[in-house]
Amino acid sequence: MNQLEALKQFTTVVADTGDFQQLAQYQPRDATTNPSLILKAVQKPEYAPLLQATVARWRGQPLDELIDRLLVRFGCEILAIIPGRVSTEVDARLSFDTSATVARAERLVELYQAEGIHIDRVLIKIASTWEGIRAAEQLERRGIHTNLTLLFSFCQAVACAQAKVQLISPFVGRIYDWYKKQAGAQWDEAAMAGANDPGVRSVREIYNYFKHFGIPTEVMGASFRNVGQIIALAGCDLLTIAPELLAQLAASEAPLQRALDPEAARAMDITPVQYDEPGFRFALNEDAMATEKLAEGIRNFCADTRKLEQLVLVQ
């Protein structure tokens, strides 16, 4: 049994890519996309016809609608390959506008439904800002399931749980990046690997809290930099993994064991917490890493959405 097969015993494996032609060989249940991944895919020659056909079919529509239709087209192609759900992201420029996020999410779902896709096969990705979490809360009440992304802190995770969102995506690799950059020459890669990786520790804390209190929100580790981070989170509800790392797991037959255990989490001594808006904003502000990475992540997704718009405009 290779490591990918072993991992699937404990964890739902999700592919983190817009390049759907790579999916079938790894047999993930779900898949996640974001503006950066879609931008990367549409610049490949094999996806040029898909971009051209989508723009040609809906030419004359507003630019934001063209982008949504492109995202949904990729999502539909992915759903033709996988048995589970695809995550599609709301424009990150709406990250601080609750009502606009709700409206855009509803449109994405309507576009999927027009293509014959059941609502339960779509997760709407929204940045884990206070406004984004409030939007997700409204959407969940309407039966539209959400994936709260750009999540770097415990307070974001707890606020999402309070809002009863379907799934959260704590970002392992970007947390690791921040701490490694802060440490500079003092960073000890070996000492900070595996269970000691700061990104791994963050997800483990969230997972243990959710399982201890029986919180149904799914925890999906995301943004991995190496296979060691994935192995250290075996047992997490889901892990979304880039094709390059899926290939590494599939190529290795080294032992892989469950690292996160719901039974162990239930036996832990954990204090419950609650966040209102002032408490959330203060807790997030106190976490320099989460504050910086959330802002940076939104900026980067916005920049890639603008690049995607430029590609659409020149068709």
Cα–Cα distance, 213 to 198 (Å, whole number): 23
The answer for 164, left when phi > 0, alpha when psi is -120 to 50, beta otherwise, is: left
Residues 132 and 101 sit within 8 Å (Cβ to Cβ): yes
Calpha distance 39→150 (Å, rounded)? 18
Asked whether 122 and 88 are in contact (CB, 8 A), the reply is: yes
Dist CA 161 CA 157 (whole Å): 6
* Angle at CA of residue 174, ends 173 and 177, nearest 5°: 90
221 DSSP 8-state letter:
E
The answer to whether residues 243 and 37 touch, using CB atoms and an 8 Å cutoff, is no
Map residue 76 onto helix, strand or coil: helix
Q: How far apart are CA 140 and CA 136, in angstroms?
A: 6
Q: How many CA atoms lie within 13 A of 124 on its CB side?
A: 33
307 noted as active-site residue? no
- Residue 23: CA atoms inside 13 Å, Cβ hemisphere, count? 28
Among the listed residues 126, 119, 57, the one whose alpha carbon sits nearest the alpha carbon of residue 89: 126
Who's near 181: CB < 8 A, 6+ residues apart? none
The pair of structure tokens assigned to 88 is: 């599609």
Calpha distance 259→135 (Å, rounded): 33
Which of 125, 164, 180, 307 is catalytic? The answer is 125
What is the set of active-site residues? 125
